[in-house]
Structure 1
Amino acid sequence: MAKLSLENKYKLYEASVQNHECDIDFINKEYRRIFGKLPMSLREDFGGTAAMACDWVKQSDNHIAWGVDLDSEPISYGIDNHYSKLNDAQKERMKYIEGNVLDNRDFKSDIVVAFNFSYFIFKERKTLLEYFKKVREGLNDEGAFFVDLFGGTDACQELVEESDHDSHTYFWDCESFNPITSEVLYYIHFEQDGHKYERVFTYDWRMWGLKELQDIMIDAGFSKVVTYWEGEDGDGGGDGNFYPSDKEENCESWVTYLCAIK
């Protein structure tokens, strides 16, 4: 079986599933809509390479960020490929934390994000509730917690979704789904230059429903949870524009955001 280099592994991942510019624009817009000002500080939980946190501090001399992750491997890649490209002042305002998102922190931030469905790793409600409580404790008084999530009729089907990119093909593979426990096993594969790289990333998760997450966030002490939905592009796909909503039609596949307000 072909094996990717460490550098190419994360390079392909970021090119396939992340768009920090759009995420940051969305967070800024919604935070300003809620609080009437821009957020200055961000904590990126399950941050991996913390590419988003590195991009965050580029916005101004007053922006600060932290990237939190348990795994030293993506942190090492992030330091070499993202942090190293910051200027000295930006480096002072961006910190990597190799640690557990359930640990206590000695700082607070305007924003906490848990993107790429990373919190799905918590399979028990009590653990997810504990995490959401920790997030709330780590927010400033005017603070907001953003997560993304996915669903739809295809979300729990055992199938492989394939998408082509400029230099590679990305595969999102649902290997199994247990309808009794909502546990799901996903893989990411890549194909590049005629080589197929199998199971580059593995995700042993619980699929959480949107309403479940709203309820747990409220139980964690958040005052309000805003649900967003993506507009349509006219050809059956999403247009990248998300708006607050409380009623929508289900579809085969959707990806959206929740914002929990402290």
Structure 2
Amino acid sequence: MGKREKKQRHQRHPRREASQYLEGGENSFSYENLPSPSKPPLSDEEDGEEEVEEEEQEQEHEGRSPSLDIPSKFLLYQQSVQSPKGDISYLQKFFLMYVGGRQPLHLQEDFCGTALLSTEWLRNDPRRTAVGLDLDVEALNWCMENNVNAIGADSSRISLFHGNVLQPCEAKLVSFDSGDCIRTIRLDPSEEDPRMDDQQSILQGDCISSPRTMPLNISSKQLPGRDIVCAFNYSCCCLHKRKELVLYFRHVLGFLSRRGGIFVMDLYGGTSSEQKLRLQRRFANFKYVWEQAEFDIIERKTRISLHFHLQKPQKKLPYAFSYSWRLWSLPEIKDCLEEAGFQSVHFWIRQMPDSENIKSVEGFGIGKDLKYEEVLSFEQQDSWNAYIVGVAK
């Protein structure tokens, strides 16, 4: 059996991911949170993919089950991938620059996964609210038990929804009373309360509970129009078709405040993004590995896998997350945003260190102090990251 067959077999068990976006059936992949541009991994030519596959074969042969003291893959992901404070700083900057006139208070985080960004958003201002939307109920439940509980009383200002960003009106509100109970809701931006000055999203529905829970009494609830909607960690690469990207952007536009708002997404690119690639970053007690499969230049698709190698205990979590991505170009994103109805589109780009030149953990410091800058043109590099800002007024 070749390497490709081994990987596909592993991805089918023991746990299937929740995403049903584009590739139905057994080969669906979760979009959860994806690697952040603020913490790129390092290249490591010493660790080949054979190492991961050998560990996979060993675990299957011995029938080993995960140890109770192994940290959650979601915790490892947050520690190695995300930088919510940095993202929030840029979100505030973009809003004040392109909308202005008020402080942004209402955030929606699409493809939110464990909603780390949303919970961090609530910390600094008691007026702030956050909405998180994701298709992976396991990630949302982990968020409820860990991130939401950690913010105490601030948790009353966050609403988490289980659903598809392409069908937000079908999303379900995750209950704060029980991880087993979710409420059917409507996120229809077309319905507005005439008593409100701002655009509202109407939430209505009944409780759907597991046999172990009691139905909840749920009254109608209203959420303010969002000042900012974001889709970070390259999440829009999970949408493979142009019509789906435009549809998603139209939904986003409907959720933004009538007083003005912004949509912010991130994207990566460069010559190294269109080839087979393996990068890593070392942390105190584990190593984070990003593996990019062969790149199809016709469909512009690749497969991304994230692995974690623990030191204590010595354990490997191969294929902790796997994704099928369509790598969009900046002009394509701009065209889709404008077709969806955004007034203007702005690019903020940061050049990243060349993947071929980073050979050790010390190399990670190269370029870490470089900031994102707004550009009208940008010469192709080995590697870059971008924030794309769509402005609605």
TM-score, reference length from structure 2? 0.63
State how far apart, in whole Å, the 2-side matches of 1:48 and 1:170 are: 18
After TM superposition, the structure 1 stretch with the greater mean CA deviation from structure 2, 188-197 or 149-158, is 188-197
Please say if 1:72 is aligned against 2:137: yes
State how far apart, in whole Å, the 2-side matches of 1:232 and 1:187 are: 20
State how far apart, in whole Å, the 2-side matches of 1:232 and 1:183 are: 22
Superposed CA deviations along residues 141-165 of structure 1, whole A, max 9, x for unmatched, are 2110000000011112112011112
Query: Residue 228 of structure 1: CA displacement?
Result: 0.2
State how far apart, in whole Å, the 1-side matches of 2:351 and 2:293 are: 29
Superposed CA deviations along residues 200-259 of structure 1, whole A, max 9, x for unmatched, are 1101111101111011101110000010012689x7534252121112222211111000
SS in 2 for 1:177: coil
* 2:334 alignment partner in structure 1: 214
Q: Which of 88, 91, 101 is the equivalent residue of 1:27? A: 91
**Native 8 Å contact 2:352 2:385 kept in 1:** no
Query: Residue 195 of structure 1: CA displacement?
Result: 2.6
Please say if 1:129 is aligned against 2:246: yes
* 1:200 alignment partner in structure 2: 320
Please say if 1:166 is aligned against 2:166: no
SS in 1 for 2:321: strand
Q: Which of 78, 97, 118 is the equivalent residue of 1:53? A: 118
**Native 8 Å contact 1:230 1:239 kept in 2:** no
SS in 2 for 1:47: coil
Amino acid aligned to 1:63: R
**Native 8 Å contact 1:189 1:200 kept in 2:** yes
**Native 8 Å contact 1:121 1:205 kept in 2:** yes
Q: Which of 21, 25, 42 is the equivalent residue of 2:107? A: 42
Superposed CA deviations along residues 29-71 of structure 1, whole A, max 9, x for unmatched, are 1211222232100000010001111111112111000111111
Q: Which of 114, 125, 132 is the equivalent residue of 2:231? A: 114
Please say if 1:261 is aligned against 2:391: yes
Amino acid aligned to 2:323: Y
Write out aligned runs for 1:182-201 (5 A). 182-193=300-311, 194-201=314-321
CA separation of 1:240/1:22 partners in 2, compared to 1, >3 Å: closer, same or farther?
A: farther
* 1:82 alignment partner in structure 2: 147
Superposed CA deviations along residues 86-133 of structure 1, whole A, max 9, x for unmatched, are 122x11111111112122322421110000111211111001110011
**Native 8 Å contact 1:4 1:197 kept in 2:** no
Unmatched runs of 5 consecutive residues or more in structure 1:
none
**Native 8 Å contact 1:7 1:77 kept in 2:** no
TM-score, reference length from structure 1? 0.93
**Native 8 Å contact 2:347 2:388 kept in 1:** yes
Q: Which of 55, 73, 78 is the equivalent residue of 1:9? A: 73
State how far apart, in whole Å, the 2-side matches of 1:16 and 1:240 are: 20
State how far apart, in whole Å, the 2-side matches of 1:33 and 1:206 are: 30
CA separation of 1:4/1:223 partners in 2, compared to 1, >3 Å: closer, same or farther?
A: farther
Please say if 1:250 is aligned against 2:380: yes
Superposed CA deviations along residues 172-221 of structure 1, whole A, max 9, x for unmatched, are 10112111111111100111113332111101111101111011101110
**Native 8 Å contact 1:152 1:251 kept in 2:** yes
Give the aligned CA root-mean-square deviation in angstroms: 1.8
| Greater Cα radius of gyration, structure 1 or 2 | 2
Unmatched runs of 5 consecutive residues or more in structure 2:
1-55, 60-65, 170-186, 188-200, 202-222, 354-364
Please say if 1:181 is aligned against 2:311: no
State how far apart, in whole Å, the 1-side matches of 2:285 and 2:84 are: 20
State how far apart, in whole Å, the 1-side matches of 2:95 and 2:370 are: 18
State how far apart, in whole Å, the 1-side matches of 2:263 and 2:284 are: 33
SS in 2 for 1:48: coil
After TM superposition, the structure 1 stretch with the greater mean CA deviation from structure 2, 42-51 or 190-199, is 190-199
Say how many residue pairs are matched: 260
State how far apart, in whole Å, the 1-side matches of 2:301 and 2:350 are: 26
